Structure 1
Amino acid sequence: MSKRFINFNGEIFQEGENVLSLAIRGFKYGDGLFETMRMSKGKLNFPEEHADRLQKGMKTLKIEGYSNMDGYFLKEKTEELAKRNKIGQNARFRLTVFRDSDGLYTPNENKNGYSLEVTALDSAYYNINNKGLILDIYDDIFKPVNRLSNLKTCSALPFVMAGLYKKQHKLDEVFILNQNGFLCETLSSNVFLVYKGQIYTPALSEGCVAGVMRQVVINLAAKYQLDIIEAQINPEILNEVEEVFITNAINGIQWVMGFNRKRYFNEVSKMLLEKLNAT
């Protein structure tokens, strides 16, 4: 099996080459953020939305050079790496941006460094999961609500612990609560609930990641005159709602079948997924 290639600070290296040093702040302090993106039929999905979130995150972290990482940059670099890997037209990318500087907790500089990785995907479309997901609440560690909460940072230990909980209990996903005990997101996705004909999702003020697919779904719902309410959501409502689905940039929309003894439908999630694939 041939080795894959990665892009590290604009240069192409074989995966596995020694390109990182122990001085990298992303390794030592989690000082960075990342963007997960999907390419379908040779074109990067929602490049401008990913660029906007990336630039806002870099600006929040005071990492320089954010204006250069625009939609054109994302399209150019992902297409280049896909071709270099002969990976076809459907792929998943992870772009990690870190503060490229030495120093202890306080960095000496704020210039950026980045790495870009790619993995092939089978389908050009977002496919509905045939089997609904089974979820439970992970409440060993709560997510704080602050200026960093909406970012996908490299400081991901709470999510690692949630992933271990998911694996231990043989779950498909877990709900994560914020510091106040309200519904925030899941391990890898934003969450939506359907209750009495309306769609609800945790507001950004509740500390959830500002997911690109979250906003795409909100915009789709508005386009087709579906009500979506961004709100503070008590997890107890999970026992009452008719439908739950989760969203991220790679899988699009996935429906949840069960939480505890509660079972859900998937009518709204199926409909929205059809609209998503038609965009």
Structure 2
Amino acid sequence: MFNFNGELLEDNTSFLNEKNRGVQLGDAVFEELRVLNGDIVFLEDHYLRLMSSMRILRMEIPMNFTMEFMEEEILKGLSENDLKEAKQIKFTVFRNSQNDFSKSDNSISYFITSNTLTNPFFILNEGAYEVELFKDFYKNSSMLSNLDTNNKVLNVVGAIYAQENDYQDCLLLNERKQVIEALNGNLFVVKGNQIKTAPLTDGCINSILRKKLIDIVLKINDFEFIEDSISPFELQKADELFITNNIDGIISISKYRKKDFVNTTAKNLIGKLNAAARMSLTAGV
């Protein structure tokens, strides 16, 4: 079952027409969330990010589109059995149909899909994970690049390149050839006691996990947090590289070119990230 504008439909039901702007123009934005035992992890953060994304894209936000409404619509599509499992939710909002980019009333529709997660909480992926720079195309350092939109062609082509060359992931560059993120999430670079990630102005995704991890690191006296541009030359000098995303949690990069990396810092942070997730459920946000 999935939720389309509040109506529950059976899987594989046709519900979009050929003029859909999300398909024709990539005119859609989404949030990926986790649901544990009927509670949504970091609900308030995801809601505020979705509202911000819709405003940036000049979508019309209905008056009833409150955080409580978002929560109700997500849970509406989950059965009693679903609520006992860990679920990945994708909440997609698109502008209503007119495949002419210059014609729209800016009103929106939404659909909500779900998948079962293997692990209820965030995990640390410690397997072999080799990466390389993807230099065929660059990501622009603009505010639009901070959003999760349906335009993921750069990630798709990059993933094909990684598969063809036996890499687990690739690192993306902006037009100034600064490293901004991985195909699979935000990148963090560890050198000594410093933890560094690219600023939003460089064009990385403004993800909830990025925000939460920064909040955690800032509270740990043993680490110095730096938000600054990352040069490709820094990567091989680093002690540790890891990626964060809302589904996997933390992925340790094991190899970049001739450099092998440890995952000491990632192991330190994964428990704290799960503690923050549990606290958000307890607080109801």
| TM-score bracket, shorter-length normalisation | over 0.9
1:228 corresponds to: 225
| Contact kept in structure 2, 1:48 and 1:70, CA below 8 Å | no
- Aligned equivalent of 2:189, options 176, 182, 193: 193
Distance 2:63 2:176 in 1: 35
2:25 corresponds to: 29
Determine what percentage of the aligned residue pairs are the same residue.
Answer: 29
CA shift, 1:70, in A, is: 3.9
Q: Secondary structure at the match of 2:196?
A: strand
Alignment partner of 1:271 is 2:262: no
1:54 corresponds to: 50
| Contact kept in structure 2, 1:51 and 1:69, CA below 8 Å | no
CA shift, 1:222, in A, is: 1.4
CA offset digits 1:187-216 (Å, max 9, x no partner): 120000001210000000100010110000
1:81/1:137 CA distance change after superposition, 3 Å: same
1:99/1:197 CA distance change after superposition, 3 Å: same
1:105 corresponds to: 101
Alignment partner of 1:245 is 2:242: yes
| Contact kept in structure 2, 1:55 and 1:70, CA below 8 Å | no
Letter of the structure 2 residue corresponding to residue 269 of structure 1: A
Letter of the structure 2 residue corresponding to residue 277 of structure 1: N
CA offset digits 1:86-107 (Å, max 9, x no partner): 4633010111110013251213
Q: Secondary structure at the match of 2:79?
A: helix
1:173/1:67 CA distance change after superposition, 3 Å: farther
TM-score, normalising length from structure 2?
A: 0.92
Distance 2:135 2:52 in 1: 29
TM-score, normalising length from structure 1?
A: 0.94
Distance 2:27 2:162 in 1: 26
1:83/1:166 CA distance change after superposition, 3 Å: same
* Aligned length in residues: 275
Distance 2:258 2:219 in 1: 34
Distance 2:64 2:180 in 1: 31
1:162/1:61 CA distance change after superposition, 3 Å: same
Distance 1:251 1:86 in 2: 19
Distance 2:134 2:200 in 1: 20
Letter of the structure 2 residue corresponding to residue 11 of structure 1: E
- Structure 1 unaligned blocks of 5 or more: none
CA shift, 1:121, in A, is: 1.1
CA shift, 1:68, in A, is: 4.3
CA shift, 1:108, in A, is: 2.5
Distance 1:199 1:84 in 2: 41
